[in-house]
Structure 1
Amino acid sequence: MTTNVKSVQVAARFVLRILILVSFAAFGNPDFGRSFAALLLLSVVLCVVTGIKRHESMFARTLTHWDEAAAYALLYALTATINQAWS
């Protein structure tokens, strides 16, 4: 598989997973921000465990589960900051 195709697959997986997380957070609990933050944190853990299990390199030329975990962690930090500011 070429590097470009693999990176596109990771990006598509990220977008699909974000859509699923947003829908679960929106319909699961009245407090969207806290639910979304918790789901993002679980996604970070899932991606880290998957990256370790698959022996993926953290600084590979293609996107990996490590990059996905970093993106979820940044979104978690942003969500937690916004939640704290609005509380």
Structure 2
Amino acid sequence: MSLADGGHLTHGASVNFSGKIYNAVQYGIDHKHGFDRLRRAAELAVAHKPKMIIGGFSAYSRILDWAKFREIADEVGAYLLVDMAHVAG
């Protein structure tokens, strides 16, 4: 999730160390479909074939569909890393 849309700074933002050494591709709000963010995440995963997908956020007020994240990762053969720090409280 992009930093501007509630993602976490350490998940590949260009100003962070992780964004400088990894090719992080972030997804944001799909303005055509509203909050159906995982549609865009799935499209990006198919296009970029990542080795790892990071799920998590720091400022997002909705519940993410973690099972859908798993499906997306499995579809492209990626590891799924879930950052539960902010989600778990």
What TM-score results when the alignment is normalised by the length of structure 2?
0.30
User: Which of the pair is proportionally richer in helix?
Assistant: 1
What TM-score results when the alignment is normalised by the length of structure 1?
0.30
User: Which of the pair is proportionally richer in strand?
Assistant: 2
Return the structure number with greater relative CO, CA threshold 8 A, min gap 6: 1
